[in-house]
Amino acid sequence: MVDSLMHRNLLGRTAGRIVLAVASLALGAALLVSPAARAAEEGGHGEEHAVHWQGWKAGNVVSDKASLQRGATNFMNYCVGCHSLKYMRYERMAKDLDISTEQLRKNLIPTGAKPTDYILSTFPKAEGEVWFGRSPPDLSLITRSKGSDYVYQFLKTFYVDETKPTKSNNLALDGAAMPAVLSDLEGVKRAVFPAGGGVDAHGAKALERFEQVSPGALTPEQFDGFVRDTVNYLSYVGEPTQVEREGLGIWIVLFLLVFTWFAWLLKLEYWKEVH
């Protein structure tokens, strides 16, 4: 009787301590998080108007096939004129992205190209140097070399700059030889830099804000979606197996289970004589 009472007492005290520990952890976390959250809401001190474009995330999801299909269409309409994807064939893309042969032929393959062809731009390399000073690079691995967020930021930070031959410039790639090819969709914008210029916390050109000079065919939200889909597609092209890999996990787990079973049988066989 005394024993069980003591036991219950002990249990009660342990439970009490656990509750106390959890409560103080929660309180600690809340205290830690709330100033950070408040600072984020206020947008920091002294630079409320600054645009932190280096913090923009692509937020693309490679398993979203509808987004990848839209991205492929975007690429074929707006990029393949200058950029190639030299490791990707049209038919592989169609298979991975659930695009029918008919859709592929009708909407994505340029006239004269075959499904077995690689996605190559017809843009003559030598002329790139003449026109832009630099040839448009192959974009097969661009999201792997520079990151998806970078490509997203690059496509969203073109601004007018009358001093440049292309009449535009780019925050992510200062002096970019690529013209602002999406300005029909996004509209034209001017960059307002803080008085005195300077660099921001990321070491890049600080930006106060963008000013819309003329509107584009898309709303800002639609344009973000357009860029996100395009980056998503480039991210798939950089590593096409990403899309397949998701279905692969379950087979790997099954293989490991079967393998463990075999290993166990083998162990039984080895130790038979000893026992």
- Kindly tell me which residue out of 12, 55, 81, 124 binds ligand HEC, with binding defined by CB under 6 A: 81
> Binding to ligand HEC by residue 85, rule CB under 6 A?
no
Total of residues contacting ligand HEC (CB under 6 A) = 24
> Binding to ligand HEC by residue 173, rule CB under 6 A?
yes
What is each CA distance from 215 to 30, 177, 185, 212, 218, in whole angstroms?
Answer: 43, 23, 8, 7, 8
| Closer Cβ to ligand HEC, 56 or 78, answer by number | 78
54 with 200: CB under 8 angstroms?
yes
- Kindly tell me which residue out of 56, 87, 118, 132 binds ligand HEC, with binding defined by CB under 6 A: 132
Tell me which residues in 222-241 interact with ligand HEC (CB under 6 A).
Answer: 230
Task: Compose the 141-160 pattern: x for residues touching ligand HEC by CB under 6 A, - for all others.
Answer: -x---x----x--xx-----
Q: What is the 3-state secondary structure (H, E, C) of the chain?
A: CHHHHHHHHHHHHHHHHHHHHHHHHHHHHHHHHHHHHHHHHHCCCCCCCCCCHHHCCCCCCCCCHHHHHHHHHHHHHHCCCCCCEEEEEHHHHHHHCCCCHHHHHHHHCCCCCCCCCEECCCCCHHHHHHHHCCCCCCCCCHHHHHCHHHHHHHHHCEEECCCCCCCEEECCCCCCCCCCCCHHHHEEEEEECCCCCCECCCCCECCCEEEEEEECCCCHHHHHHHHHHHHHHHHHHHCCHHHHHHHHHHHHHHHHHHHHHHHHHHHHHHHCCCC
> Looking at this protein, which amino acid is placed at residue 189?
K
**Furthest-apart CA pair in the chain: how many Å?**
96
- Kindly tell me which residue out of 179, 194, 200, 243 binds ligand HEC, with binding defined by CB under 6 A: 179
| Closer Cβ to ligand HEC, 96 or 186, answer by number | 186
- Judged by CB under 6 A, the stretch of 7-15, 28-36, 43-51, 177-185 that binds ligand HEC is 177-185
- Judged by CB under 6 A, the stretch of 30-38, 55-63, 126-134, 185-193 that binds ligand HEC is 126-134
- Kindly tell me which residue out of 76, 120, 160, 181 binds ligand HEC, with binding defined by CB under 6 A: 181
> Binding to ligand HEC by residue 137, rule CB under 6 A?
yes
| Closer Cβ to ligand HEC, 14 or 145, answer by number | 145
Strands 85-89 and 187-192, by their bridges, are unpaired
- Kindly tell me which residue out of 70, 83, 156, 189 binds ligand HEC, with binding defined by CB under 6 A: 83
- Judged by CB under 6 A, the stretch of 80-88, 96-104, 185-193, 214-222 that binds ligand HEC is 80-88
Question: What is the nearest approach in angstroms of ligand HEC to the Cβ of residue 199?
Answer: 18
Which residues bind to ligand HEC, rule: CB under 6 A? Answer: 78-79, 81-83, 128, 132, 134, 136-137, 139, 142, 146, 151, 154-155, 173, 176-179, 181-182, 230
